[in-house]
Structure 1
Amino acid sequence: MFFKLKKEINYVLYQRRALLILVDIICVVLSSFLALFIRQEANTDLWLWNNYMSIWVVDVIISLLFFIFFKLYRSLWLFASIVELKNIVLAIIGADITKYLIINHVLDVRLPYSWYFIEPALLVLLIGGNRFLYRYIRDYRIRKTQQNKNTGSKISKVMIVGAGRAGNVLLREIKNNVNLNKRVVCMIDDNRAKHGTLMNGVPIVGNRDTIADNVNKYDIDEIIIALPRATAMQRKEIIDICKETKCKLKVVPGVYQLIDGEVKVSKLREVEIDDLLGRNPIKVDIKQIASYVKDQVVMV
């Protein structure tokens, strides 16, 4: 049963890769023709078209080899990010330089020098565009399916305090996981340069002094404090402000979870008494103390 399931998964994976390679071949040829078309200002210069037709297979093969080298067919495009975009750009630049050397100096086929600049620019748009379009469509379909399942259940409106790295990670996880039944509607940060800007489409609306006003404005149900690097005193001050709102409070545990990459919704915890001290808790060895205060009268 296990091997049968594994075989089916591999078959689907190979199908997707084959389809992606086919799309890439179309993109390479299309970008090359468009580059010639733009270079000639929509005129038809047959010798240029004939020259390209004599080397289009080389053009495609070189591009695919670089795409394979930069692992474009092994990425999970549902979670594509700036890293995948960087790999696309590097693969196309590497392929372009190689094409210039082989087509001009090995095959001795002449194409306009501007083609080697226009064609990769168009190819970045086409290759990057179809990947991120795929991500958008898949993401939209998953969200739509989950939303239909959750129809009728209350969506909790969330405010994140802290528009830094931890806040960004939490925001992404909440947006990507509709099973959480949470929606981040605003963010708070004391850095004035961030006010009025957006993080992944969510507005950063002010500093800690505006928390209460924005809770009322956005009808917030839950506040998440994403400040793992904050001191105990800073955290206490913010918690005191948030407690006045009567919203449900949760906090990111600490800086070590941030370093370890463990900033996740599942790692959030409720506000504890230690968060209200304004200092680090003091650990007391009760057994050691008891040994020299036993049977003594103690004034505290």
Structure 2
Amino acid sequence: MKIAITLLGLLRKHRRTTTSIIYALIAATSYSIAFLLRFALLRDGTARFLWSLILLVVIRVGFALVTRLGIGSWRYVGIRDLFRLTLATTAGSILFFAMTWWVPGVPHVPRFIIVLEWLLTGNLTATVWVTYRYIFEWQTHREHRFEGTKRVLLVGAGMAGQMLVREMARVPTGHTPVGFVDDDSMKRGTLIHGVEVVGSVDDLARIAEEHEVEQIFIAIPSAEPAQLRRIIELCENLDIGFKLLPGIREVIEGDARLNQLREVRLEDLLGRNPIELELPELSTDVEGQTVLITGAAGSIGSELARQVALHAPSKLILVDQAETPLYYIDLELGKNHPDLDVEARLIDVTDCTRLDEVFKLHRPSRVFHAAAYKHVPMMEGHPLAAVHNNVLGTWLVAKAAGEHGTKRFILVSTDKAVCPANVMGAT
């Protein structure tokens, strides 16, 4: 195994030479087969065969270098590579025909042999490419096998869907596509990268049960809001997680990937960008101030962060215990407000030591406290967790703000706190 890996590394290091040799062997093999079919066992003489073979190999290797076939990566071979292959083989065959028919002293080669060699060379080269790509992908999946691979159903059998399936086929992602659903009846029963279009969106529940689907990917970036709402309603009726591929731009550019899938947002259903409010009162209050927001990765805290960022604070500190959404809101603000000093801090509001550290270091003059457990049924089942986070956490944040000179402390509360009838409201 080590010898094979070493040899493969050596061949990759000298890619151009290696591929030139392979293309020469393919041309020689194809020409030999064509010549034998035309002149059984070379009874017509070996001299003509050998001289014309040398000429053909030189032409084939030359055109492979000119069209840059020698530097293409076979593991990513696609339509453009097949076009360049067709161009190289066709141009080479035309030149070979011209030289063997019209150049004095060059052995004459029948047109049947030239045409057959052209067909064989193109097909054998393509076969080598596809075989190499298949072996590479198979080996990659074998070496990086995921435990508990999820069975995925894709909604949308268009360009975006096929790009996602192609990525899952090329590299291990922990997902296995089991089928497409699409409302286009013409696509029903067709295979896309080996994955079948098994039904329409209306059949989602039945198909998910039949194929033991564990996750749904909605891959229709151009969907109208009404169409998207219909799909999401069907997904919500199933006990299955679902994600959305949002951007049509990435699909047009051929760059739709699994890491672009995300949870559905309000603006996806609105069909427009959310309105950004520029509030003069907020601008006057936070402009030039150091602002700290707790629960900054939540639904309310993240929107607070967006609105505050619009009004030029000197620094914005995002505090939350949820790593992934905190990471994404930090990325979003950094992209939309590159000149704003934003700092994300992964802190639990009940951790008094780390809270004291961040307040002591930054001394925020404005604090928006939006860190709270808010789901009523969940809090009914976990009252101690509600008290610990909502009551103790609020007290600790307020205490740190008071001790470190915060001038304004805003608590984001709920109407359920008025004459509370449940644990969430009471805490």
Q: TM-score range by the shorter chain?
A: 0.7 to 0.9
Shift of 1:11: 6.2
Match of 2:23 in 1: 24
Is the alpha carbon distance of 1:125 and 1:261 closer, same or farther for their aligned partners in structure 2, counting shifts above 3 Å? Answer: closer
Match of 1:217 in 2: 210
Which of 256, 261, 266 pairs up with 1:263? 256
Match of 2:221 in 1: 228
Partner Cα separation in structure 2 for residue 51 and residue 71 of structure 1: 30
Is the alpha carbon distance of 1:24 and 1:281 closer, same or farther for their aligned partners in structure 2, counting shifts above 3 Å? Answer: closer
The structure with more radius of gyration: 2
Match of 1:55 in 2: 52
Shift of 1:282: 5.2
Contact 1:160 1:184 in 2 (8 A): yes
Partner Cα separation in structure 2 for residue 125 and residue 281 of structure 1: 50
Number of matched pairs: 274
TM-score, length-scaled by structure 2: 0.60
- 1:75-120 Cα distance to aligned partner (Å, 9 max, x none): 1100111221221121111000001111222234212121111111
The structure 1 segments of at least 4 consecutive aligned residues displaced by more than 6 Å after TM superposition are: none
Give 5+ residue unaligned stretches, structure 1.
1-8, 291-300
Is the alpha carbon distance of 1:250 and 1:64 closer, same or farther for their aligned partners in structure 2, counting shifts above 3 Å? Answer: same
Which of 109, 112, 115 pairs up with 1:114? 112
Is the alpha carbon distance of 1:54 and 1:177 closer, same or farther for their aligned partners in structure 2, counting shifts above 3 Å? Answer: closer
Match of 1:131 in 2: 129
Partner Cα separation in structure 2 for residue 100 and residue 16 of structure 1: 29
Shift of 1:218: 0.7
**Identity over the aligned pairs, expressed in percent?**
25
Match of 1:102 in 2: 99
Partner Cα separation in structure 2 for residue 44 and residue 61 of structure 1: 21
The residue type equivalent to 2:58 in the other structure is I
Contact 1:232 1:280 in 2 (8 A): no
Contact 1:225 1:251 in 2 (8 A): yes
Partner Cα separation in structure 2 for residue 166 and residue 20 of structure 1: 33
Pair 1:283-2:275 in alignment: yes
Partner Cα separation in structure 1 for residue 63 and residue 153 of structure 2: 44
Q: Matched residue of 1:227: which SS?
A: coil
Contact 1:51 1:109 in 2 (8 A): yes
Shift of 1:281: 5.7
Q: Matched residue of 1:144: which SS?
A: helix
Is the alpha carbon distance of 1:87 and 1:286 closer, same or farther for their aligned partners in structure 2, counting shifts above 3 Å? Answer: closer
Shift of 1:141: 1.4
Which of 145, 149, 152 pairs up with 1:155? 149
The residue type equivalent to 2:113 in the other structure is W
Contact 2:182 2:200 in 1 (8 A): yes
Is the alpha carbon distance of 1:114 and 1:265 closer, same or farther for their aligned partners in structure 2, counting shifts above 3 Å? Answer: same
TM-score, length-scaled by structure 1: 0.84
Match of 2:35 in 1: 36
Contact 2:15 2:71 in 1 (8 A): no
Match of 1:168 in 2: 162
Partner Cα separation in structure 2 for residue 165 and residue 57 of structure 1: 45
Stretch moving more, 93-102 or 138-147: 138-147
Stretch moving more, 189-198 or 131-140: 131-140
Is the alpha carbon distance of 1:261 and 1:53 closer, same or farther for their aligned partners in structure 2, counting shifts above 3 Å? Answer: closer
The residue type equivalent to 1:228 in the other structure is P
The residue type equivalent to 1:187 in the other structure is F
Shift of 1:263: 1.4
Contact 1:70 1:87 in 2 (8 A): yes
The residue type equivalent to 2:180 in the other structure is M
Shift of 1:16: 3.4
Partner Cα separation in structure 1 for residue 255 and residue 137 of structure 2: 23
The residue type equivalent to 2:38 in the other structure is R
The residue type equivalent to 1:174 in the other structure is M
Partner Cα separation in structure 1 for residue 217 and residue 88 of structure 2: 40
Match of 1:5 in 2: none
Which of 67, 71, 75 pairs up with 1:74? 71
- 1:34-59 Cα distance to aligned partner (Å, 9 max, x none): 1111123x354233x32121232211
